[in-house]
Structure 1
Amino acid sequence: MLRRLKLKRFIIVEGDSLNVISWLKGGVPPPLRFDAMFDEIDDLIAGSFIDINHLQRSANGEADSLARGGLFFSYFKELVGKEVTVELKNDLAIRGILHSVDQYLNIKLENTRVVDQDKYPHMMSVRNCFIRGSVVRYVQLPPDGVDTDILHDATRREARGG
């Protein structure tokens, strides 16, 4: 007899540290100094579907180069509090209020909803999410959030090398 699996949330974890990925998957126990932290993680994710993946460090190349340039980081900070749509490299598009962004263009969204709910029904219960910068394909900005003068100035500075 099949029972419907009731999950609290769907969580995707990606990292470039093989050790941490192994600890999270449970294949290798974490060092004792991290035991309490991993016990807390286990409690937080209980009842969730978790997809844990290892990424090669080279997969972070684009995000790292953008972060070093800082071109987009300062621009995205101006969009905090506005609605954006983030399209991921796996074709999932999530719309929400930009809560925060860091120098690696990792994005935290609140009040999220999936753009294509028929294709991703398991994501309908997700209301807040953290998106790693290296998995972002596009960020669609609100029309009133585009200040072309700032973008032109930043692009000119970047072209001059600083």
Structure 2
Amino acid sequence: MQIAENLVALIHYTLKNEEGQVLDSSEGQEPLPFLCGANNIVSGLENALIGKVAGDKLDVLVKPEEGYGEVRAELIQKVDRNNFQGIDDIQVGMQFMAEAPWGQQPVTVVAVEEDGVTLDGNHPLAGQALQFSVEVTEVRAATEDELAHGHVHGEGCNHDH
């Protein structure tokens, strides 16, 4: 069975940045399942996997526009320290959930100064080319529930089926 829209694929992967540093890997864990066509993984990787079958291995270079996007300057802003009531030691690299017009937005502290804290709402991998080494381990039909919910069900799925 070939990977196609509305099918479930399971993959083992290693993700590296342009410098070859490993950022994430499924090594030693269960393969990553995704529902093809449901935006469960970045589009550049999904597009490269279309038509692949169990046992296929491939290396995929995903450019930012098909990964986590380019860095958007409007998502980087300085806010008043008063927004961090009860947090005395704010450090670069800390992550918080911020309220944005579209809902909850994860942000990362990129600078701490006397007059405020600079937060970055871009994905940490925005603007980076991503190097994936992938092995397809299984391709199967999706269940009705998986299709209805837009993701694969299994361990860690926390809603009623």
Q: Same fold (TM over 0.5)?
A: no
Shorter chain as denominator, the TM-score bin is under 0.3
Tell me the TM-score normalised to structure 1 length: 0.25
Relative to its length, the structure with more helix (as a share) is: 1
